[in-house]
Amino acid sequence: MKKESGFSRRDAMKLMGLGTLAGGLYLTGAQREALAADAPKAPFKLAVVAFSTGPATSYGYPGHEMMELLVNHYNQNGGLLGRKLELSKDDEGPVAKVVETFKRLTQQDKVDAILGVASSGNALAAAPIAEESKTIFINTLARTHKVTWQNPDDPTKFRKYVFKAVNDTIAHAASAALACAKFFPGAKVAHVHPDYAYGHEIHDIFDTVLKKVDPKAETVAELWPKLFTPDYSPHIAKILSTKPTVVFNSFWGADSTRFADQCIQRGVAKHSKLMGDHGEFYSTEKRPLPKELIGHPPFPVEGLPTAPDPNKWPLNKFYYDMYYQAHQNATPAGAAFTGAGFLALVAAVERAAAVTGSWPSNDQIAAAFPGLAVAHQLGWSTYRSDGKASTPKWAGLYKEQKPYNFGIDQIYHIPMEEVCAPPGEDPLEWIKKW
Amino acid sequence: MELVFNIFINGIFYSSILFLMSAGLQIIFGVLNIINFGHAAAYMLGLYICYGIIGLLPADYPALLWMAPIGAAILVGLLGLLFERGILRFMYKRDHVFQILVTFGIVLMVDDIIRFYWGGYSIGVPPLIDSMIEYGNIIYPVYNLIIIGAAAGLAFALWFLFRKTDIGRVIRATSLDEEMTEAMGISVMRVKAFTFLFGSAIAGLAGGLMLPVTGGWPGVGMEYLILSFVVIAMAGLGSVNGALVTALIIGMVNSLGVQYFPKLELAFVFILMALILSIKPSGLFGTHKS
């Protein structure tokens, strides 16, 4: 029986059947040995492109770190089906740099697969380059819902070589609205979002969904500080004057912790619940979650160091420990997301190899994604016909949980079919039909 | 009442941050006639050195934490002196474009050094003092008041230095006429070196003090440099008094803008800047024709 508070042991066992390493479902031991014996001598070339400089480093750079760990781990254990992995790492930078990097990686370096890209604008610019060169691109960090579409205005035609490892902005914001309605019915919500496309989209979707699932909820403030604002005092004054139940924010990186710190200092956390990615980014800064935020809701996320429960989901413990041993820190979201994307690639290679009986081509690997089921640190994902992974989200309230920086209490496991538009539908239009 | 207090105190606090960041920039421009992008590097170094010192200090003696921003200011000042003597002094006669390239280059270098030494992640520390002032529904952190006090203290110290001391008079003389100052037997090179040390130390102090409020990340200095340029453009290049007044204006406009027109908060500051510069291109207190 599936429990609302998570997933049942039976679920866990079933999914663990997918293999402690992704793709285990698709090949027997004998098949692996045979494939390894005939594996091409040339390495399988991987690239990770994610911010390693600037304020977005907290989100992007963990992807570099996780890929390095995973590639080393696989190479020390005989490679991927007998083929060595070769990793190159690039800083993401602005859109012109990403375009240049993707052209170099696909045309000059001829990599087999690229993972990463945190900015939605960058991902949309990079996707056509990967598609044109038939290079697999797994977008592991950006939340744009259009990256797998052939045409940004047409949700019915999909790219063949571009995949998305995390849920999109729509599912992300809708999950937050569901969690808000569940934990704080009739909430007075103060919105504080960075003043760019992501922040506005999160606000609009959250607002739309919350009005439908909790008509008594109301918006009492809408604030739009620019990205990397040093001081939120004026915004906090506005928040204090509107006396909200929930302060919903979509800050990330240093913005997230800075906003939370300043809210705590000004007494906001005493009277209102801060809903945001705070625990995640305090961990990245190697700071414990402030005690003032215990009982406050995190922005629902695909997984956390304590969710799925590492005692019941060994993959969470395995990759957490791997990252912790290398960096003496909890696995940041950027690392776990990128790891999930990499394991999806591994699973696709093995699934394709199981069908072809030999090391698959890039075309065959790409064709193996739709319908792919993959277990990873964050839980499990299924890849849909539109190339997007659907990964369940975890909501709840922050609690203390040693030795981790925080845990999640009253876990609310959000089924993705409730918040993800079906393939072929524009999620923004779909959400309006709720 | 509560709202009025919040708008006022937030405006003052924001002004204080802007003044701490722009004061050193103004002093350096006033004397060296250089648009110093490297100020962002000094701010960033102050922040990270403060973070490093806090990590070294024993946690059992919180009073010692105050040594961190002061230590950061001293170290950044000395590093600034090294940069001025080693590189910048060769650029004084060069075109502004060269000066900008060199000072911007140092930002990139420091950015890389920070990433190499401290890593690419953002950093943060709790306030050096976590007390609050509570009055009715008003809660205000004491640390923010200390920053306001530091900015006010700096403004007074600069006024005193420039108006009441011989060193200040020499600096002012150098900014007005280098040749005449040299003819009076004063080493202009030394004055410039001291000024750069002093301006860099102020940036280092600002970085150290702001660490508990804003945290930091590689590249953080450039975020604040843009705001500092807005302040000095509106004030008039080289005017420290102007920087103080302009910082106060921007702080209050920002605080009111966020409260009543949140969707236009950033626009207000830049509209104000455009308005002032179109009426008085040299800035409110500026005398430079360029």
Give me A345's structure tokens: 């690639």
- Per-residue pLDDT band at A433 (split at 50, 70, 90): confident
Per-residue pLDDT band at B215 (split at 50, 70, 90): confident
Q: Tokens at residue B46, please?
A: 């102050």
Task: State the Cα–Cα distance between residues A284 and B130, nearest whole angstrom.
Answer: 22
Q: Do B262 and A54 touch (CB under 8 A)?
A: no
Task: Please give the model's pTM, rounded to 2 decimal places.
Answer: 0.84
Task: Say if CB A128 and CB A87 are below 8 A apart.
Answer: no
Could B3 and A235 be called an inter-chain contact, meaning their C-beta atoms sit closer than 8 Å? no
User: A152 CB near a chain B CB, below 8 Å?
Assistant: no
Cα separation, B246 vs B230, in Å, equals: 9
Average the pLDDT over A368-391 and give the result.
Answer: 94
Q: Is residue A420 predicted with pLDDT exceeding 50?
A: yes
Give pLDDT, residue A19.
Answer: 43
pLDDT, tens only, A5-48: 344 444 444 444 444 444 456 888 888 889 999 899 999 999 99
Tokens linked to A297: 């809701």
pLDDT of B153 above 60: yes
In terms of residues, how long is chain A?
Answer: 434
β-bridge mates for residue A222, sequence order: A191
Q: A425, A404 in Cβ contact below 8 A?
A: no
Residue A258 near chain B (CB below 8 Å): yes
A257 closest CB neighbour out of B120, B215, B255: B215
pLDDT band at residue A59 using 50, 70 and 90 as cut-offs: confident
Residue reference for tokens 């003597």: B85
Q: Calculate the alpha carbon distances from B149 to B19, B46, B70, B73 in Å.
A: 12, 19, 15, 17
Mean pLDDT over A62-70 rounds to 97
Question: Can you give the pLDDT at residue A351?
Answer: 95
Would you call A265 and B17 a contact, using CB atoms and an 8 Å cutoff? no
Question: Chain A within 8 Å of B210 (Cβ-Cβ)?
Answer: yes
Q: Are A339 and A379 in contact (CB under 8 A)?
A: no
Q: What is the per-residue pLDDT across B57-100, written as a single tens digit (0 to 9) for each?
A: 987 888 889 999 999 999 999 999 999 999 999 999 888 889 99
The least confident of A235-249, B220-234, B240-254 is: B220-234
Nearest to A404, CA basis, from A302, A297, A309, A277:
A309
Q: Give A330-357 pLDDT, tens digit per residue.
A: 999 999 999 999 999 999 999 999 999 9
- Looking at the DSSP bridge assignments, the partners of residue A188 are A218
User: Would the pLDDT of A1 be above 50?
Assistant: no
- Determine whether the interchain pair B223/A230 forms a contact, defined as Cβ–Cβ distance below 8 Å: yes
Q: Do A224 and B262 touch (CB under 8 A)?
A: yes
> In the predicted model, what is the mean pLDDT of chain A?
90
Question: If you average pLDDT over every residue of chain B, what do you get?
Answer: 90
Q: Which amino acid is located at B79 in the chain?
A: L
Chain A residue with Cα closest to B114? A53
Q: Is the pLDDT of residue B157 over 60?
A: yes
Q: Cβ contact (<8 Å) for B17 and A240?
A: no
pLDDT digits (tens, 9 = 90+) for A152-171: 889 999 999 999 999 999 99
Taking the Cβ of residue A330 and every Cβ of chain B, the question of whether any pair is shorter than 8 Å is answered with no
Highest mean pLDDT among A277-291, A352-366, A413-427: A352-366
Confirm or reject contact between A285 and chain B (CB < 8 A). yes
Q: What pLDDT score was predicted for residue B131?
A: 87
**What string of H, E and C letters represents the secondary structure of B113-156?**
HHHHHHCCCCECCCCCCCCEEEECCEEEEHHHHHHHHHHHHHHH
Q: Is A390 helix (H, G, I), strand (E, B) or coil?
A: strand
B19 in reach of chain A (CB within 8 A): no
Nearest to A61 among B121, B255, B266 (CB): B121
Instruction: State the sign of the Cα–Cα–Cα–Cα dihedral A234, A289, B67, B132.
Output: positive
Interchain CB distance below 8 Å, A257 and B124: yes
pLDDT exceeding 90 applies to what percent of chain B?
Answer: 59
Give the list of residues 6+ apart from residue A347 with CB closer than 8 angstroms, or none.
A18, A22, A23, A25, A26, A368, A372, A373, A374
Residue B36 has a pLDDT of: 92
B42 touches B23 (CB < 8 A): no
Closest by CA position to A341, among listed A17, A4, A3, A22: A22
The reported pLDDT for the residue numbered A17 is: 44
Out of A110-114, A365-369, B229-233, pick the least confident.
B229-233
What pLDDT, on a 0 to 100 scale, did the predictor assign at position B224? Answer: 78
Separation in Å, CA of A58 to nearest CA in chain B: 5
Taking residue A157's Cβ as centre, other Cβ atoms within 10 Å add up to 11
pLDDT digits (tens, 9 = 90+) for A193-240: 999 888 999 999 999 999 999 999 999 999 999 888 888 988 998 999
Find where tokens 């004057």 sit: A241
Mean pLDDT of A48-61: 87
Tokens linked to B72: 């950061």
Which range has highest mean pLDDT (A141-145, A254-258, A321-325)? Answer: A321-325
Q: What was the pLDDT predicted at A163?
A: 98
SS3 (DSSP) at A228 = coil
User: Could you tell me the two tokens for B206?
Assistant: 């600002």
DSSP per position, A80-126: BTTB-EEEEEE---SHHHHHHHHHIIIIIS--SEEEE---HHHHHHH
pLDDT at A27: 85
At B288 the pLDDT is: 54
Q: What is the mean pLDDT of residues B268-286?
A: 89
CA distance A349 to A345: 6
Nearest CA in chain B to A194: B263
* A355 Cα to chain B: minimum distance (Å): 42
Predicted confidence (pLDDT) per residue in A68-83, tens digit: 999 999 999 999 999 9
